[in-house]
Amino acid sequence: MYKTGCKTALLSGMLWLVGCSDPSWQTKDISGLMPPLDFELISEEARSVTEADYAGNVTLLFFGFTHCPHICPTTLANLAAISQELGEEAQNDLRILFVSVDPDRDDPAKLREYTDAFGPEFTGLTGDGEALQALTRRYRVTYGYGEKDDTGNYDVSHSNAVFAFDRDGDAQLLIREDDPKEAVMADLSRLLAH
């Protein structure tokens, strides 16, 4: 009797750990795992912005740097293609925030030039070390810098995932590099429909 009770408790504990997400989302559901959007950064127009500036929109958050050779351009190009396919109405309601974690090399002007290449819904943001650390810590991600080579170039480690927030700023999805395009499309349409 006692042993069965323990087993049931253990089993339900494991189920609670593994299966707490809504199965109807096709990318990773992070509602409940992550806090709502909250930041204080510098925009590509060189003015101070917070999450309130993007309220009412579905917001995507991605961390990177403009010297990034592969992950950042690929991810942003994929998001641009998806946003295009979602249509003009959706595009107006979608804000894609590219947060540079390399403020030494990425100033607002440089960020603006970089994100303009992907589309009007893309906005570059950056900040000082403290502001960046507050935001990355909030979403349990980090970044770090490699050694400089002879030309002064260096690698930056950063999160390769896209965080998606609903119109209320609540964390909803984590989109991974290898998530199929159809899955991302379906989830973003659903998020935009609310």
Binding residues: 68, 72, 158
Least Cβ distance, residue 125 to another protein (angstroms): 17
Residue closer to another protein by CB (options 41, 174) is 174
Least Cβ distance, residue 109 to another protein (angstroms): 25
Least Cβ distance, residue 42 to another protein (angstroms): 21
Binding residues for Cu cation: 68, 72, 158
Candidates 34, 2, 32; CA nearest to 16 is 32
Residue closer to another protein by CB (options 57, 75) is 75
Residues that bind another protein (CB under 8 A): 2-3, 6, 14, 17-18, 28, 30, 33-34, 63, 136, 140-146, 155-161, 174, 176-178
193/174 Cα distance (integer angstroms): 18
Least Cβ distance, residue 19 to another protein (angstroms): 10
Residue closer to another protein by CB (options 41, 171) is 171
| DSSP letter (8 states) at residue 54 | G
Residue closer to another protein by CB (options 86, 141) is 141
SS3 57: coil
Least Cβ distance, residue 93 to another protein (angstroms): 26
Residue closer to another protein by CB (options 92, 157) is 157
